[in-house]
Amino acid sequence: MCRRIAAGNWKMNGVAADLGEVSAIADAAQDTTCEVVLCLPATLLPQAGARNLPKALKLGGQDCHVETNGAYTGDISAEMLAEVGAKYVIVGHSERRQFHGESDAQIAAKARAAWDAGLTAIICIGETEEQYRAGRTLEVLDRQIAGSLPQNATSENTVLAYEPIWAIGTGLTPSLAEVSAIHTHLRTRLPDETIAILYGGSVNAKNADKIMNLENVDGSLVGGASLTVAKFTPIIKALEATK
């Protein structure tokens, strides 16, 4: 049995004035037995922690460095995230791979750094539109899994998020049959077959129930629709309904 997780990624969005949404999402999280996670900007993590939120909401970071400390201007370590209350950290998001040139090997090292700090690593993989159109999705995902998922990953320390890059923030999604076939394939590639596999890419209140119902989809990683309780709650409820 896999963990069931609704994870939000706030990206570079959110200031103190938005903490009310975090509190409201924490309240909504109390109505589900699934794990609800918000990966906030690092600046908001201590402020969210200071609110004594219901424990049903877990907090996460959006990236971490491979080292615990050192001369890495602008970076943040997994240990630092853990110290301010994070339980999860996203590594290898396509925006990090694309805009920061992160390699599979770096992402695997970040996942190991996350584990060392006691965090669950949410490791992201996904193909570009060009690769999708060329029918290379599975080949690309296999390569990313082989390179960025450490062999000793377990369901305790790792969550895999399949996020087709062309579906992120575009309103586009693969067909249900495609998501199902890809997740079923991914399951066979995992070092521990009970690792949760999340789907991410334009999940919203309208499509969440159908996607969450697919076999081998254990939850979602949500960008835009996780920014408000009004948009995120239906996604949490859709996952809860599939238990």
Residues in contact with ligand PEP by the rule CB under 6 A: 9, 163, 168-169, 200-203, 221-225
**Residue 163 is among the residues annotated as catalytic for this protein:** yes
Q: Which residue has the closest beta carbon to ligand PEP? A: 223
Q: Which of 65, 95, 163, 183 is catalytic?
A: 163
Q: Are 10 and 38 in contact, with CB atoms under 8 Å apart? A: yes
Helix (H, G, I), strand (E, B) or coil at 53: coil
CA 18 to CA 212: how far, in whole Å? 27
Least CB distance to ligand PEP at residue 197 (A): 14
Give residues with Cβ within 8 angstroms of 219, minimum separation 6. 3, 4, 5, 6, 7, 34, 35, 196, 198, 199, 212, 239
List the one residue out of 58, 50, 94, 15 whose CA is nearest residue 219.
58
Least CB distance to ligand PEP at residue 204 (A): 8
Q: How far is CA 201 from the centre of its chain?
A: 11
Least CB distance to ligand PEP at residue 161 (A): 7
Least CB distance to ligand PEP at residue 230 (A): 15
Q: Which of 21, 35, 79, 93 is catalytic?
A: 93
**Residue 93 is among the residues annotated as catalytic for this protein:** yes
User: Toward ligand PEP, which CB reaches closer, 12 or 17?
Assistant: 12
Q: Are 216 and 189 in contact, with CB atoms under 8 Å apart? A: no
Helix (H, G, I), strand (E, B) or coil at 141: helix
CA 222 to CA 183: how far, in whole Å? 17
User: Toward ligand PEP, which CB reaches closer, 9 or 137?
Assistant: 9
User: Toward ligand PEP, which CB reaches closer, 51 or 210?
Assistant: 210
Helix (H, G, I), strand (E, B) or coil at 125: strand
Q: How far is CA 11 from the centre of its chain?
A: 11
CA 37 to CA 90: how far, in whole Å? 11
List the one residue out of 237, 223, 174, 170 whose CA is nearest residue 31.
237
User: Toward ligand PEP, which CB reaches closer, 6 or 168?
Assistant: 168
Least CB distance to ligand PEP at residue 243 (A): 22
User: Toward ligand PEP, which CB reaches closer, 63 or 163?
Assistant: 163
Residues forming the active site: 93, 163
